[in-house]
Amino acid sequence: MTSGVRGEGIDQYAVIGNPVAHSKSPSIHARFAEQTGERIEYGRVLGTVGEFAGDVRAFVETGGRGMNVTVPFKLDAHAFANTLTPRAAAAGAVNTLAFNADGVLGDNTDGVGLVRDIEGNLGVGLKGTRVLLLGAGGAARGVVLPMLDCGVAALTIVNRTASKAQILVDHFSDAAHAANVRFSGGGADSVEAGPYDVIVNATAGSLDDALPTCDDASFGPGTLAYDMMYSAQPTVFMRHAETLGARSSDGLGMLVEQAAESFFLWRGVRPDIGAVLRALRLELSKSI
């Protein structure tokens, strides 16, 4: 286990993952702290697969107040927390831990990060829209409930293995019914006719420059094609969507928004993400 250098009298936070050296979380939270005047230090913890609980306890024993959790430990964090927020319980995964007198609180800020990026930063209101969610893994699972809660009219989940999409539909069916959302899922044949308002790529395909299976007719000039991955250059999914006339975005804003939600959970202060997002985008452009 490795972590950042700790300062005396300053609250300690970190991101835990394996690998973790690439994580932008320390840079994001350092900017949040500078902006808000919060006295924190934020480092990285290289977690050991199979030893997650021990690594987290060691961090807490040295004064750790909270952690962000990235792959492959989000399920471990869910099991480790003794209290879960409703959105973490629904997602079945945890990306934020807060350590306090009551124990360990587990939260999942991914979904709210996605919604805030789409609505706040990209200016696309989700209420009443038709949304297509590509993928049925952990990334997709974390955003379903926040999507349902923000008032979409319809949400369709499509996955190469149709049964995995159906598992998510079954899991969230009560929430969809309560929100009066038309909710369905399965394989490629589950796609409704006509262009969607928003298409979210929650697969990891863009990491390998692989295009997810999706009907080209689902894209139109009024469609926002959103890839949860991000890179210096537009992803293959973004490029494909643009050839079909859609507007596209990567997931960098989601990364910053979910971090801001974690920061708020820990410190009770909500940072302004605009300047931070612009700085990260500039860093990415310089890496080309």
Residues annotated in a binding site for shikimate: 23-25, 70, 95, 110, 230, 258
Residues 12-50, buried b or exposed e (16+ Cβ, 10 A)? bbbbbbbebeebbbbebbebbbeeeebebbbbbbebeee
Q: Cβ contacts of residue 28 below 8 Å, gap of 6+?
A: 255, 256, 259, 276, 280
Q: Are 146 and 123 in contact (CB under 8 A)?
A: no
Q: Which residues pair with 67 in a beta bridge?
A: 14, 97
286 is catalytic: no
Spot the catalytic one: 29, 31, 44, 74: 74
Q: Are 65 and 35 in contact (CB under 8 A)?
A: no
Residue recorded with tokens 């306090």: 100
Q: Which residues participate in the annotated binding site?
A: 23-25, 70, 95, 110, 135-139, 159-164, 228, 230, 251, 258
CB under 8 A, 24+ apart: contacts of 75-78: 75/138, 76/52, 77/52, 77/106, 78/106
Residues acting as catalytic residues = 74
